[in-house]
Chains A and B, each alone.
Chain A
Amino acid sequence: MKKIILFISFLTFGMSQSGVEIAQMVDDRATPKDMTSSTTMVLTNKKGKTRTAKIFSKSINNNKKQIMWFLSPKDDKGVAFLKIEHDDKDDEMRMWLPAFKKIRRISSKKKGDSFMGSDLSYEDMSSREINENTFTRLDDELVDGVDCYVIEAVPNRDLRSSYSKHKTWIDKNLIMAVKEESYDRLGNLKKIKSFKNELVGKYRVMAGIFVKDVQNNHTTNITFDDLKLDTGIKANLFHEKNLKRLPRN
């Protein structure tokens, strides 16, 4: 039914959608209730040296609640991370340090900081709320032969974003982002992100992200494998006590 509505909307509005309407379309796209994945994160620094981490993660509510356990490298095995986004208060982030046997809170003030030394910040990993940004539609473009909408999102001032704007290319057919450029507060290009999408069951979901920090010449390549959707993950999993032990599946 949602697909039909989308199709009708597309026919009705044709080329006339505004930036915010396109953003809304992306936001309204059907997403799974929960997701389980094995993630591989490869960091490459400016000298070409790499570090690889394997993470097992579970999330619900379009990643608003997420828990992840580090499987490798050996040094990081057992470290775990919990994130819970709130609409009415600061997000919660906690981590488990197995060697110290301590759970530590991560400040939500630090959303511009790098996540685990990657090129993704907490802000990049959080949902982009439509009412917290101003969207403008730019001229459509082709990305690798795919016809795309191009929209610009400028975060509202009170958001204290670490970015001045984002420029996003959205696949017109899939209504999913395929590429994004993020600009720092001075307006200089900071990151280029490329997204890989995949059909899993009835959903089109993100299967990989490649991020390049053009200012630091550092890259992060994330791939999501063994994607399992709508498996009925319970909300009570997202509790700090569950950080301490790796689930069986």
Chain B
Amino acid sequence: MGHPIREWVIEKTLKHPKRTIVVSLFLTIMMASGAQYFVIDDDMMKMLPKNMPSRVAWDNVMEEFGNTDMVYVTFGIRDEKGINPKMLSSLWDFTRALEDMPEVEKVTSITTTERLDSEDGFMEVSDLQYTRDLYPEEVEDIQNYLDNNENIKKQLLSRNEDYLNVVIQPVKKAPFDVLSHNVKNLGNELLSDYETQYGGAAYITGMVPGLIRDDVAMLMRAGMLIMVLILLVNLRSVAGVGMVLMTIVLSLVFMLGFMGWVYRLTGSEKFLFTMMNTSMPIILLTIANSDGVHMIAKFFKELRKRRNTQEAVRVAMDSLLIPIFLTSITTSAAFLAMVFAPIEQMIGYGISISAGILWAWILSSTMLPALISLKKWKMDSKAVTHASIFEKGIDILAKQVAKHPKYILTAGLFLVSIGGFGVTMVEVDVNFSSFFKKGTELRDGMDFMEEEMSGTMDVRVRVEGDIKDPENLQSLIELQNYMEEEPKVGMSFSIANMVQQMHKTIMDDDPKYETIPDTRGKVNNLFTMYSFSGDPDAFESLVDYDYEVGLVTAMSKTLHTNEILTFVKGIESYVIESFPEGLSAMVTGMAVVFRDLVFLIVKSSLISIIVSIFVIGGIASLFFRKLHWGFLAVVPLTAAVILNFGFMGIFDVKLSHITAILASIIIGVGVDFAIHYIAQFRRYSRDRSKYDNLSRKVIDDVGYPIVLDAASNMGFGALLFSAFVPIQYIGGLMVFAMVSTSLGTLTVLAAMTELLKKKIIEQ
């Protein structure tokens, strides 16, 4: 006699299968109707915690100087001179059209650049390109001016001067995804005669989430197809596979509807579907698949034995309702641990996926058995009469584990210790260029810009002090020199450069005066003179209105996370040692913020892994009423997590915010396997007649659905064909995770329980 609640569920489900199905479908549709409020948001900036110190500093910089993350566009024809009338006309049209975009604050190109000339000693500020269509001599004049001002030329032209550069500063809080798409569409329209490349942090962060999601969506379909094929080959029943698939799909739409409703009712941005949530459907798929596969596999096994559908469903339900409930509760609890994450989207992620997991549990425990019970199964079909390939293979494994538990445990521990060694070699990197395979449009654009431009990655130093003080201005120049010593830094600029240029101009263009003047009065006179001719807002991206805060910018080729760390540390040390009293500095910029964000994600992922393991262990101990069951439940997944990170370390797979989420999949699936194993182990251990062959019996019983579940989830190996390197890693590591968690359960856990069975089995 089972637990009264379990009995009640079995009774109601099997007595009223149609009602069960209708109620399940109705409730799913009700929740799924929230999908109309489901919002996809590709704004990666929302991922950044608002109180993260580098984010606060960055926000301050943006408040003072506007957005510091740019979109770079470069266009031209290779080996043809970039400064020519036709290209300048195209540049004019493109620049003016960009300026009309609501997402654009400022455009820097030859069209918008001001030139400083000395005329009779007066500092004449005028437009470098004053109109769209220019005479050849005017074009030559622009070329000459740039030849005499190398630093400006570096910003506006490519290395070989065959491409023209356009730098687009977005407005504050501009949605980078909208901006990037609009800029690209405009480029396609106006620059179709040229080879055009796009890049910059704002562009990449704007384009990547959508591209990754589209890529993952396409590969997920392929993954699901493979999953269905594997299930079909093993279950040999279209109806059986269809029922599992129905459970998965209904759980998915329930989860998406749930996100929509919560967003609609609370307005909380935590429930927006961002790049971070891309992995949610994959995780829910694997977990829902696990529940369904266990139920259907157990049903076929029992049907083969009993030749009676109702009886077989009843036994399958009786045997699996508790394990499926337990796996769902533990996995949900593990994901709910994400509510303590510092990134808001992770909170919504944890809550929403928990809702999906719990719904998958309800459907697998009620609707799926109801569907099975309604179907008239052919007793002579191969699905019923013959064991599948996996079932036969499991039998061999079961014999070996029962026979050589010590060897298997030793081999398992050896592998885990190698993994443990590999963990120490794991490196964190969030370099966007390494996200893309060579040959993809984004990577080619980035490589092109790396090669041709002075840099598309900017490191910003916010300096605070009296910016008109010559000593402070000189310190900025020296800081720039220090920054330019980094080989990847192509150029740097600050208000100090403008002061040098103005000084030279006012001193009749004498190059020996391209210096910081010796008195504050002179510096001030330069600014005053500029205000008599130039745009009063011309310096707003370099210095604040009160000349108390300045911004030093170094343009660099892509820096890896470790290089950013070293570079930033170097700048900070330099500032402490060399800056005069009264002048302070802080390094910021998207690169620095993302560095901190990645560490935060990795740190919070590691914390949530540890918390999850404890929560799972705690729940399992509580349910199985002994601490050692909780410990055993977390053994396979802990071993798999160690192996996963060890594998990453050994094969130089970088830990990023994308690869870090794999641990969640391992925990989600790994705990299922372990709990199914332990539940059956305890169930069989009550029967003294099965004591000697206990492990073999358990493996024989749960091994098949575990292996089938793992194998079908390996369909997500299709992610290996992604255009994005981290997604490829996820594909590869997913296959690895399935192998490690399933084998970990069926070997290490099985060997441990076999060796400890005398001690752990309740009297």
Other-chain residue from B121, B122, B126, B522 in contact with A99 (beta carbon distance below 8 A)? B522
Contact A106 B532 (CB under 8 A): yes
Chain A 113-136 residues near chain B, CB threshold 8 A: 113-118
B115 CB, min distance to chain A CBs, angstroms: 13
- The reply to whether B531 and A117 contact each other, CB–CB distance below 8 Å, is yes
- B residues near A43, Cβ cutoff 8 Å: 536
Q: Is residue B533 within 8 Å, beta carbon to beta carbon, of the partner chain?
A: yes
Q: Chain B residue with minimal CB distance to A115?
A: B532
User: A45-79 vs B: 1/0 string, CB under 8 Å?
Assistant: 10101010000000000000000000000011001
B125 within 8 A of A: yes
A116 x B524 contact (CB < 8 A):
no
Instruction: Give, as a whole number of angstroms, the nearest-CB distance from A210 to chain B.
Output: 17
Of all chain A residues, the one with the shortest Cβ separation from B123 is: A104
- A113 and B533 within 8 A (CB): yes
B536 touches A100 (CB 8 A): no
User: Is B545 at the interface (CB under 8 A from chain A)?
Assistant: yes
Contacts of B506 in A (CB 8 A): 97, 100, 102, 104
* B268 to A: closest C-beta gap in Å: 30
A245 at the interface (CB under 8 A from B): no
B125→A113 contact, CB < 8 A: yes
A residues near B533, Cβ cutoff 8 Å: 106-107, 110, 113
Q: Does residue B185 face the partner (Cβ distance < 8 Å to A)?
A: no
Identity of the chain A residue whose Cβ is nearest the Cβ of B522 in the assembled complex = A99
Within B498-522, the residues touching A (CB, 8 Å) are 506, 517, 519-522
Pick the contact of A104: B121, B468, B520 (CB < 8 A): B121
Q: Is B534 interfacial (CB 8 A cutoff)?
A: yes
- Contact assessment for B545 and A107 in the assembled complex, using a CB-CB cutoff below 8 Å: no
- Contact A116/B525 with A49-B545, A104-B123 known, Cβ cut-off 8 Å: no
Name B519's closest neighbour in chain A (CB-CB).
A99
Partner of A105, one of B120, B521, B544: B120
Across-interface contacts of B123 in A (CB, < 8 A): 104
Query: Quick one: which of A199-235 are within 8 Å of B by CB?
Result: 216, 218
Q: Which of A76, A105, A114 contacts B535 (CB 8 A)?
A: A114
Query: What are the residues of chain A within 8 A of B581 when measuring CB–CB?
Result: none
CB-based contact B122/A117 at 8 Å: no
Is the beta-carbon distance between B545 and A47 smaller than 8 angstroms?
yes
Residues 14 to 48 of chain A near chain B (Cβ within 8 Å): 43, 45, 47
A105 x B121 contact (CB < 8 A):
yes
Question: Counting CB contacts under 8 A, is B546 at the interface?
Answer: yes
Q: How far is the CA of A98 from the CA of B123 in the complex (A)?
A: 16
Q: For chain A, residues 179 to 204, give those with C-beta under 8 angstroms from any C-beta of chain B.
A: none
How many chain A residues have a CB neighbour from B under 8 Å? 29
B536 and A117 contact, CB distance less than 8 A: yes
In Å, the complex CA distance between A95 and B525 comes to 10
Instruction: Flag if B119 contacts A99 (CB, 8 Å).
Output: no
B391: Cβ under 8 A from any A Cβ: no
Q: Indicate if B124 sits at the interface (CB-CB under 8 A).
A: yes
| A116 to B533 Cα, complex, angstroms | 8
Structural contact, B122 and A100, CB atoms closer than 8 A? no
B537 at the A interface (CB under 8 A): yes
B-chain residues with CB within 8 Å of residue A110 when the two chains form the complex: 124-126, 533
With A105-B119, A107-B122 given, is the CB distance from A79 to B537 under 8 Å? no
A51 touches B122 (CB 8 A): no
B59 to chain A, nearest CB (A): 14
Instruction: Find out whether the CB atom of A98 lies under 8 angstroms from the CB atom of B532.
Output: no
Q: Which residue of B lies closest to A96 (CB)?
A: B525
Q: What is the minimal beta-carbon distance from B506 to any residue of chain A, in angstroms?
A: 7
| Complex-state Cα separation, A106 to B535, whole angstroms | 15
Judged by a CB distance under 8 angstroms, whether B529 is at the interface is yes
| Per-residue A-contact encoding for B605-626, CB less than 8 Å = 1, 0 else | 0000000000000000000000
Please determine whether B528 and A79 come into contact, CB atoms closer than 8 angstroms: yes
Could you tell me if B525 and A100 are in contact, using CB atoms closer than 8 angstroms? yes
What is the distance, in angstroms, from B67's C-beta to the closest C-beta of chain A?
A: 15
Contact of B119 among A79, A107, A216 (CB under 8 A): A107
The CA-CA distance from A139 to B545 in the complex, in Å, is 42
Instruction: Judge whether A116 and B126 touch: CB under 8 Å.
Output: no
User: Are B121 and A116 in contact, with the CB atoms below 8 A?
Assistant: no
Which 10 pairs between the two chains have the least Cβ-Cβ distance? A99-B521, A117-B536, A117-B531, A75-B524, A97-B525, A99-B522, A49-B545, A104-B122, A99-B525, A105-B120
Chain B residues in the interface with A (C-beta under 8 A): 119-126, 468, 506, 517, 519-522, 524-525, 528-529, 531-537, 544-546
A residues whose Cβ falls under 8 Å from a Cβ of B: 43, 45, 47, 49, 51, 75-76, 79, 81, 95, 97-100, 102, 104-107, 109-110, 113-118, 216, 218
Can you sample 27 A-B contacts with CB below 8 Å? A45-B537, A47-B545, A75-B521, A75-B524, A76-B524, A79-B525, A79-B528, A81-B532, A95-B529, A97-B529, A99-B517, A100-B506, A100-B522, A104-B506, A104-B529, A105-B120, A107-B533, A110-B124, A113-B125, A113-B534, A114-B534, A116-B528, A116-B531, A117-B531, A118-B536, A216-B537, A218-B537
What 15 new A-B contacts, CB under 8 Å, besides A98-B521, A105-B119?
Answer: A49-B545, A51-B545, A97-B528, A97-B529, A99-B522, A100-B506, A106-B532, A107-B124, A107-B533, A113-B532, A115-B532, A116-B532, A117-B531, A216-B537, A218-B536
